[in-house]
Chain A
Amino acid sequence: MVVLRPDEVMFGSSVWSNVARVTVDRLSTRGVDEWDDFGPFLVFMDVVRQRAVIRISQEVTGDDFDGPIPGELDAFSFIGSSGSDAGIVKVEAEAVVESVLHKVSDFGSTRVITLVAVSSDGSVDPITVS
Chain B
Amino acid sequence: MGSTFKGIDYFGSGPHRFASGRRGRRLVALSTLSGVVTDAGSLEFGDLEIRVEVRGRLRAASDAALWVIRDAITAEGDSTVGSGVLVDHHGQSWSTMKLLSYEEDGPTDRGREVSVGYTALFGQLVSG
The interface of chain A, by Cβ under 8 A from chain B, is 30, 32, 34-38, 43-44, 46-49, 122-123
Are A48 and B110 in contact, with the CB atoms below 8 A?
A: yes
Q: A37-B89, A37-B90, A38-B89 are in contact. Are A47 and B14 (CB under 8 A)?
A: no
In the assembled complex, how far is the CB of residue B83 from the closest CB belonging to chain A, in whole angstroms? 23
Are B15 and A43 in contact, with the CB atoms below 8 A?
A: yes
Q: A32-B117, A44-B14 are in contact. Are A37 and B88 (CB under 8 A)?
A: yes
Are A44 and B112 in contact, with the CB atoms below 8 A?
A: no
Main secondary structure of the interface of B (DSSP, over half): strand
- B59 CB contact (under 8 Å) in A44, A47, A49, A123: A44
Say yes or no for B56: interface residue by CB 8 A criterion: yes
Q: A44-B57, A44-B59 are in contact. Are A35 and B113 (CB under 8 A)?
A: no
Q: A44-B57, A44-B59 are in contact. Are A36 and B111 (CB under 8 A)?
A: no
Q: Interface range on chain B: under 10, 10 to 19, 20 to 34, or 35 or more?
A: 10 to 19
In the assembled complex, how far is the CB of residue A87 from the closest CB belonging to chain B, in whole angstroms? 31
Residues of B close to A49: CB separation below 8 A: 111
- A35 CB contact (under 8 Å) in B15, B90, B112, B115: B15
Q: A32-B57, A34-B57, A37-B88 are in contact. Are A48 and B109 (CB under 8 A)?
A: yes
In the assembled complex, how far is the CB of residue B123 from the closest CB belonging to chain A, in whole angstroms? 20
Residues of A close to B115: CB separation below 8 A: 32, 46, 48
Q: A32-B57, A32-B117 are in contact. Are A37 and B110 (CB under 8 A)?
A: no
Say yes or no for B16: interface residue by CB 8 A criterion: yes
